[in-house]
Structures are given as C-alpha cells and as structure tokens.
C-alpha cells in the first residue's frame, strides 16, 4: 500500500465527514474532536487547515493508495517551546492494522523537522490506546513518562503516555 501525505483540499470533505463520524475514532481523541462528526464539521476543519500558516503548523490528509484515510498534524509550540511540536493523528477504521499510520508518522516527522526547524516532536496518547502507542514506538518515539489520571474522557479518568522524538545530533534546525 502506498502511503502519502498532502495538504487538505475541499474535495476531501465528503470522505472526511464519512470516516470521522465513527465513535471509535473520537474515543481516543480530545473532546474538541466532534462526535457525531458532521459534514459542517468536516467543512470547517478543511477550510481551517487550508487557511493555516505552514510556518507554525502542518495539517495533512493521509492518503492510502490515493484514498483519504485520516488526518495527521504537527503544531509548533510557542515561546520557550518553539522548537518542539505536538503530533496528532487519527486513521479511519477500514485502514487500521495495515502499517499506514506508522508510515504517515514517519513522513510528517521528517517534514516537520525540515520545514518547521523543530528539534523535538512529542505526542500524548491515552495509555489504554495500545495501537497508537505501538505506532509511535515503531516510528522511533521514546516513552518519556506516564501521566497518571491526566485525562478525563466520557466521565472516566485515564493515564496518558508522553512520547518524544528528538532530531538526531547534527541535524538541529535553525533557531526560530
């Protein structure tokens, strides 16, 4: 399967609305991710992504054999965190378990290190989300810590795991 990333386009809205409207996706994401996920939510998201300044954030559609399969982003931190970026992602259920997300994480991290001049990329995932944890570990992220009872989702408290990936020595980006 060919995995690629590209900027969001208006023609992605129908597929985004269809795939994102699955409670299994929202179950492992922040509450800011709507559930149910409507076409209006998809339209707002795509338009917001297209309007963003790519000096501070990369929002990408994940493409699997030319079909929109999910979303991935790296958002640069502010102030003293300006050389760190937060990774976020989700993948549509029909594409789970095929290695797509690991490939997408590796691709966006390379792009973010290069184009955003980052030194570190981190992700925080629910500890119970073993599939997402495996994705990060396969992509070279290291577990930096477990944050106990740090997440409240659907009225339940969960631990979360903080993962980090540091740019290799000699590859540090510019000071921004």
Give per-residue pLDDT as tens, 132-146: 999 999 999 999 999
Q: Is 32 helix (H, G, I), strand (E, B) or coil?
A: coil
Count of the separate structural domains present in the chain? 1
Residue 31 lies in a domain: yes
Contact status, residue 3 vs residue 104, Cβ threshold 8 Å: yes
Q: With a cut of 70, list the residues of the chain below it in pLDDT.
A: 169-176
The confidence score (pLDDT) of residue 53 equals 86
Residue 72 lies in a domain: yes
CATH number at residue 32: 3.40.630.30
- Report the distance separating Cα 146 and Cα 128, nearest Å: 11
Q: Which domain holds residue 88?
A: 3-166
The confidence score (pLDDT) of residue 169 equals 61
The secondary structure of residue 167, as a DSSP letter, is P
Residue 36 lies in a domain: yes
Residue 146 lies in a domain: yes
Residue 174 lies in a domain: no
Which of 131, 157, 133 has its CA nearest to residue 145?
A: 133
Residue 157 lies in a domain: yes
The confidence score (pLDDT) of residue 170 equals 55
The confidence score (pLDDT) of residue 175 equals 46
Residue 176 lies in a domain: no
- Report the distance separating Cα 88 and Cα 149, nearest Å: 20
Backbone angles phi, psi at 66, to 5 degrees: 80, 0
E strands of the chain, at which residues? Answer: 3-6, 57-64, 67-76, 84-91, 120-126, 142-153, 156-166
The confidence score (pLDDT) of residue 168 equals 80
- Other Cβ atoms less than 10 A from the Cβ of 62: the count is 26
- Other Cβ atoms less than 10 A from the Cβ of 90: the count is 21
Tokens of 54: 């790519």
Residue 111 lies in a domain: yes
The confidence score (pLDDT) of residue 164 equals 98
């Amino acid at each position: 399967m060919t995995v690629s990333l590209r900027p969001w386009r208006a023609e992605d809205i129908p597929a985004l609305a269809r795939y994102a409207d699955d409670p299994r996706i929202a179950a492992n994401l922040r509450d800011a991710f709507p559930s149910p996920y409507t076409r209006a939510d998809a339209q707002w998201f795509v338009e917001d992504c297209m309007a963003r300044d790519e000096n501070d954030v990369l929002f990408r559609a994940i493409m699997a054999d030319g079909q929109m399969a999910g979303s991935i982003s790296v958002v640069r931190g502010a102030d003293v965190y300006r050389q760190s970026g937060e990774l976020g992602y989700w993948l549509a259920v029909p594409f789970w378990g095929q290695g797509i997300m690991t490939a997408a994480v590796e691709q966006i991290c390379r792009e973010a290190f290069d184009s955003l001049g980052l030194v570190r990329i981190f992700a925080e995932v629910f500890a119970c989300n073993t599939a997402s944890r495996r994705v990060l570990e396969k992509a070279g992220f290291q577990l930096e810590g477990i944050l106990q009872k740090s997440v409240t989702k659907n009225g339940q408290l969960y631990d979360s795991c903080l993962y980090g990936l540091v740019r290799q020595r000699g590859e540090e980006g510019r000071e921004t």
